[in-house]
C-alpha cells in the first residue's frame, strides 16, 4: 500500500503557476483596492517616496517581502503591529471627522453615526475579498488546459501508481486526475479543492487571543483590537478537524500497518504539514518513508521532523530523494543527505 502526500511543489514541478508569489500578482492585478489594504495590514509594502502630487509611492517586491509572500499562510497570522499603532493614532482623526460630518444635525441616529465613524476608521471587511480572490485564482489555474510532466521525476517517487494507493493532497488542483488518471475515490483534499471551497489560513491558535490581551482601556481602540482578533480567527486553519477527516479516510479504506510506504512529494514540511506527517507516523509506525525535498530549507525541516519523531535512528526505513531539476544543486543536496547517513 502506497500513501502519497502531495504538496504545492508537485504542481509547481508540473509547470502550474501555484506559488503564493503567483497569487500575489493575481491579487494585485484583479483586486488592487483590497490588495493594498492587505499589504498594509501585514507590512507587505513600504513607502519609499512621494510623487509630485504628494501621493505615497510604495515598494512591495523586495526580498524580505517576497519571503513573507512565499510563506503566505503562516504570514496570515502575523499582523504588522505598526498597522495597529497607526489605527490608534487615526482613531482621534476619525472621531473628529465624524463629528464634523454630523455638526448641526439635531439628535442624530446614534447607530448611523457609529457606522460612519467605523467607516472613517477604515476598518474594513477584508477576509471575504481575500477569500473570493483566492478562490478565483485557484479556478483560473484549474482552467489551464494541461500541465506538463516534471523535468526531473526520480524513482522511487515516480512513476505514480494508482493501484493500491491513496493520496492526501494539500493542493486545490486536479493534477493527479488530469496527468495520472487517479480515481477521485482514492484522493482526499483535507483543505478543499477547486470544486468545493479552498481552505487557506495560518495555524496559530493563540494569536487572536494574544491580540486581545493588550491592555487597552479606550473603547474605540478596543474595537480595533476586536476587529483584528476576529479577522485572525477567520483566517485560522482548523487542522484538528481536517486530521480527523484524513483518519476517517484511512479507516474507510481499511488500511493496516503492514507493508505501507509513505511517499511525500512537493511538501515543504511547514508548521501545518508537520501535523499530518506526525499523524501518519503515529498511525503507521512500521511504515517506510520516501520523502522528496527540493531545497536546502526543505531538507533542514525534514531532518528536524525526523529528529523530533525519533526516526533518525531508523534510517533503514527512510529514503530522502532530491527532486530539484538543477543537476548542480541536486548534487550538492545529495552530498548533504549523505553526510546525514541517507
Cα 272 from Cα 276, distance rounded (Å): 7
SS3 readout for 158-201? CCCCCCCEEEEECCCCCHHHHHHCCCHHHEECCCCCCCCCCCCC
The residues that bridge with 166 in the sheet, in sequence order, are 3
Q: Say whether pLDDT at 265 is over 90.
A: yes
pLDDT of 254 reads 87
CA distances from 101 to 90, 92, 98, 120 (A): 16, 14, 5, 11
Cα 152 from Cα 79, distance rounded (Å): 38
Region of poorest pLDDT, from 9-13, 293-297, 305-309, 313-317: 313-317
Q: pLDDT for 192-218, tens place per residue?
A: 999 999 999 998 989 888 888 877 777
Q: Say whether pLDDT at 85 is over 80.
A: no
Q: Say whether pLDDT at 308 is over 90.
A: yes
CA distances from 289 to 61, 189, 257, 261 (A): 38, 21, 13, 6
Q: pLDDT band at 103, cuts 50/70/90?
A: low
pLDDT of 79 reads 84
The model's pTM is 0.87
CB count in 10 Å sphere of residue 207: 19
State the virtual CA torsion across 74, 65, 128, 57 in degrees, nearest 10. 160
Q: pLDDT for 9-25, tens place per residue?
A: 999 999 999 999 999 99
Q: Say whether pLDDT at 105 is over 60.
A: no
Count of all residues that appear for the chain in the document: 342
Amino acid at each position: 500500500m502506497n500513501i502519497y502526500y502531495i504538496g504545492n511543489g508537485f504542481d509547481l514541478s508540473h509547470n502550474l503557476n501555484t506559488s503564493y508569489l503567483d497569487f500575489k500578482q493575481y491579487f494585485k492585478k484583479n483586486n488592487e483596492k483590497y490588495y493594498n489594504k492587505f499589504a498594509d495590514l501585514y507590512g507587505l509594502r513600504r513607502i519609499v517616496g512621494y510623487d509630485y502630487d504628494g501621493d505615497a509611492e510604495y515598494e512591495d517586491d523586495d526580498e524580505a517581502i517576497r519571503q513573507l509572500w512565499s510563506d503566505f499562510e503562516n504570514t496570515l497570522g502575523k499582523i504588522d503591529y505598526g498597522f495597529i499603532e497607526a489605527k490608534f493614532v487615526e482613531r482621534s482623526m476619525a472621531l473628529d471627522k465624524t463629528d464634523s460630518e454630523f455638526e448641526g444635525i439635531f439628535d442624530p441616529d446614534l447607530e448611523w453615526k457609529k457606522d460612519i465613524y467605523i467607516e472613517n476608521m477604515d476598518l474594513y471587511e477584508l477576509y471575504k475579498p481575500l477569500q473570493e480572490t483566492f478562490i478565483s485564482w485557484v479556478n483560473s489555474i484549474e482552467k489551464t488546459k494541461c500541465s506538463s510532466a516534471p523535468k526531473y521525476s526520480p524513482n522511487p517517487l515516480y512513476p505514480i501508481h494508482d493501484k493500491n494507493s491513496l493520496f492526501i493532497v494539500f493542493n486545490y488542483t486536479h493534477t493527479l486526475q488530469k496527468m495520472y488518471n487517479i480515481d477521485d475515490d482514492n484522493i482526499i483534499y483535507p483543505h478543499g479543492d477547486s470544486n468545493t471551497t479552498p481552505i487557506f489560513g495560518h495555524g496559530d491558535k493563540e494569536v487572536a487571543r494574544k491580540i486581545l490581551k493588550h491592555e487597552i482601556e479606550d473603547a474605540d481602540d478596543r474595537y480595533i483590537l476586536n476587529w483584528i482578533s476576529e479577522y485572525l480567527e477567520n483566517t485560522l486553519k482548523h487542522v484538528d478537524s481536517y486530521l480527523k477527516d484524513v483518519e476517517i479516510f484511512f479507516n474507510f479504506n481499511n488500511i493496516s500497518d503492514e507493508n505501507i510506504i509513505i511517499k511525500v512529494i512537493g511538501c515543504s514540511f511547514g508548521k501545518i504539514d508537520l501535523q499530518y506527517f506526525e499523524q501518519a507516523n503515529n498511525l503507521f509506525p512500521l511504515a517506510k518513508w520516501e520523502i522528496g525535498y527540493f531545497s536546502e530549507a526543505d531538507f533542514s525541516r525534514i531532518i528536524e521532523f525526523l529528529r523530533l519523531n525519533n526516526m533518525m535512528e531508523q534510517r533503514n526505513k527512510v529514503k530522502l530523494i532530491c527532486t530539484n531539476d538543477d543537476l548542480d544543486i541536486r548534487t550538492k543536496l545529495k552530498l548533504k543527505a549523505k553526510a546525514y547517513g541517507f
